[in-house]
Amino acid sequence: MPKTALLAGASGLIGQQLLPLLLASARYGRVIALVRKPLPLVHDKLEQLVVDFERLADYGPQLVADDVFCCLGTTMAQAGSRAAFYQVDFTYVTELARQAAANFGGQLLVVSSLGADAQAGAYYLRVKGEMEATVRQTSFHAVHIFRPSLLLGHRAVPHPNERLATLLLKLARPLLLGPLRPYRAIGADTVARAMLRAAEDDGGGIRIHRSDAIAREGRAGALAG
């Protein structure tokens, strides 16, 4: 029978690429998008659930899905403070995972970051690592953690430092070979395709998808599509 997908972060860089893939997939008969405000999109499969992410527990009974895709995330620059960043990238993500797992969700597919490590010196990477450690403890049949490098794609509010980093990584791409390959910048659309492909595999356990593997999986997903 067709499955239900739940997507958080549908308006973000990866989420806006992933949503149309989920709607087009024969795997899903229903796609629930958790949104702060309604998206300008109508589709027979799409159900938009307007939520206050600070009160996710209030929506617990509605967070029922076979595959839970979490593309929530911000940057330190956008968040404006460490506390605000932590709220989005740790609290929202882990609470969503906890609520959906309690409803017998089968798979969690969550976006983290290259270099995520709960012991990292960099605050951004440390929070991502703490998030990973927490979602690993949930009762999902499978937890897929995606660790992309710098993401390429259209940002509503691009940051000057991100534009510079993107340009430098594009120029350096031919030099990033062997062990440096994971540091190549990667398209948000590639990550989205890799996430859908991982869900379709229906494997179990905890799986870490590094940026270079995400690129391969995303290309394979594009060819399959």
The catalytically annotated residue of 28, 92, 128, 183 is 128
Other C-beta atoms lying within 10 Å of the C-beta of residue 212? 20
Residue 183 catalytic? no
* Structure token digits, residue 43: 């589709």
* Structure token digits, residue 117: 């490590």
Task: Say how far apart CA 169 and CA 171 lie, in whole Å.
Answer: 5
Residue 28 catalytic? no
The catalytically annotated residue of 3, 45, 86, 124 is 124
Angular region, 153: left φ>0, alpha ψ -120 to 50, beta rest: left
Nearest-CA neighbor of 59 among 86, 105, 95, 31?
95
* Structure token digits, residue 32: 């629930």
Task: Say how far apart CA 68 and CA 196 lie, in whole Å.
Answer: 11
Nearest-CA neighbor of 202 among 123, 106, 128, 137?
106
**Dihedral of alpha carbons 95, 96, 102, 105, sign:** negative
Q: Which are the catalytic amino acids?
A: 124, 128
